[in-house]
Structure 1
Amino acid sequence: MIIHSVIPVEKIFEGYQAGGGVLQEVSVGGRMLLVEEIAPRQYQLVRLINGSLEDYLHPALQPGTRIPASWVESDP
């Protein structure tokens, strides 16, 4: 990748390599979700790994959505 910019490369990619929270795969209602722990008992949906075609359009299953801790903690 080539970037032509007057902004220093360090500034452009600042925080890009920053590690996030712990990622977990969680099965919820027959769907496999990848969630990130953003704080104790707080999770954010990173990716819908599998589900029906309609699930990919469901607003509650979009990346970035906050996931209730009960969904994650109830998974065996």
Structure 2
Amino acid sequence: MTFYTVVPIEQMFEGAYSSGQQAEEVMICGMLMQVEPLEGRQARIIRLLQCPLDKYLNPAFAPGAVIDYDK
């Protein structure tokens, strides 16, 4: 792959290899989802793993939504 740019290569790939926080699988409201823990009792939804089909259309459970949960 060739990049034709004036941006330094270090800046282009900055953060590409950082590990960040580990994702957890939790069961909330009868749904298994993968979340990224945030501060306090909150988590950001990464993806739904197992849930009823109508829950995929609920914006409260969309990827990126922040939810409250107990660890």
**Shared fold, TM over 0.5:** yes
Alignment RMSD (CA, Å): 1.9
Q: State TM-score, norm by structure 1.
A: 0.72
Query: Shift of the alpha carbon at 1:2?
Result: 4.4
Aligned to 1:14: 14
Matched letter for residue 26 of structure 2:
V
Percent identity between matched residues is 35
Whichever structure has more helix as a proportion of its residues is 1
Gaps of 5+ in 1: none
Structure-2-length-normalised TM-score = 0.76
Q: Unpaired segments of 5 or more residues in structure 2?
A: none
Change (3 A) 1:8 1:58: same
How many residues in Structure 1 have an aligned counterpart in Structure 2? 71
